[in-house]
Amino acid sequence: MAVVIFIETQNGKASKTGLELLSYGRSIAEATSASLIAVIFSDSDTQELTDHGADVIYTVDTATDSNFNLERYSATLSEICALEKATIVVVSSSSEGRYLGPSLAVKTGATYLSNAVALPTTYNPLTVKQSCFTNKGFAISESMSSCTVLSLSSNAFGIHPQPGRGEVKTYPYASTKSKLEVTKVEHAQESISIADADIVVSGGRGLKGPEHWHLIEDLASTLGAATACSKPVSDLGWRPHSEHVGQTGKPVASNLYIAIGISGAIQHLAGINASKVKVVINNDPEAPFFKAADYGIVGDAFEVVPRLIEKLKALKKA
Partner 1 sequence: MKILVCISCVPDTTTKINFTADQKEFDTQGVQYIINPNDEFGLTRAIRLQQSHGAHVTVVTVGEVSCEQILRKCLAIGADAAVRIDAHPNDGYFVAKQLEAICIKQPFDLIITGRESIDYNGGMVGGMLATLMQLPYVTQCVGLEINGDQALMQREIDGGNEHSKANLPVVIGAQKGLVEEKDLIIPNMRGIMQARQKPLLVEAPLTIEAKSQIEFYEKPKPRGPVTLFDPSDVDGLLNALQNQAKVL
Residue list 270-309, contact with ligand FAD (CB under 6 A):
271, 281-284, 287, 300-302
Q: Closest Cα to residue 282, out of 306, 309, 264, 308?
A: 264
Q: Which stretch binds partner 1 (CB under 8 A): 24-32, 101-109, 164-172, 204-212?
A: 101-109
Q: At its nearest, how many Å lie between ligand FAD and the CB of residue 77? A: 32
Q: Closest Cα to residue 292, out of 255, 266, 253, 261?
A: 266
Q: Is 61 in the site for partner 1 (CB under 8 A)?
A: no
The DSSP output letter for 48 is H
**Identified binder of ligand FAD from the candidate list 265, 290, 292, 312, rule CB under 6 A:** 265
Q: Kindly identify the residues of this chain, within the stretch 236-295, that bind partner 1 according to CB under 8 A.
A: 241-242, 244, 247-249, 255-256, 266-267, 270, 273, 276-277, 279-280, 290-295
Alpha-carbon separation of residue 1 from 34, 132, 165, 179, 292 (angstroms)? 5, 29, 16, 33, 43
Site size toward ligand FAD, by CB under 6 A:
26
Q: Kindly identify the residues of this chain, within the stretch 62-91, that bind ligand FAD according to CB under 6 A.
A: none
Q: Is 66 in the site for partner 1 (CB under 8 A)?
A: no
Please choose which of ligand FAD, partner 1, none residue 262 contacts, taking the beta carbon within 5 to 8 angstroms, the exact cut-off set by kind.
ligand FAD
What span, in angstroms and rounded, lies between the C-alpha atoms of 138 and 131? 4
**Identified binder of ligand FAD from the candidate list 61, 209, 267, 306, rule CB under 6 A:** 267
Beta carbon nearer to partner 1, 50 or 247: 247
Alpha-carbon separation of residue 74 from 71, 151, 293 (angstroms)? 5, 14, 40
Q: Build a one-symbol-per-residue string for 26-55: x at contacts with partner 1 by CB under 8 A, - elsewhere.
A: ------------------------------
What span, in angstroms and rounded, lies between the C-alpha atoms of 67 and 185? 8
Please choose which of partner 1, ligand FAD, none residue 230 contacts, taking the beta carbon within 5 to 8 angstroms, the exact cut-off set by kind.
ligand FAD
Provide the pairing of β-strand 2-7 with 35-40.
parallel
Q: At its nearest, how many Å lie between partner 1 and the CB of residue 55? A: 28
Beta carbon nearer to ligand FAD, 38 or 228: 228
18 SS3 class: helix
Q: Is 101 in the site for partner 1 (CB under 8 A)?
A: yes
What span, in angstroms and rounded, lies between the C-alpha atoms of 21 and 152? 7
What span, in angstroms and rounded, lies between the C-alpha atoms of 209 and 285? 22
Cross-strand pairs, 149: 89, 112
Q: Is 230 in the site for ligand FAD (CB under 6 A)?
A: yes
36, 3 Cβ separation under 8 angstroms: yes
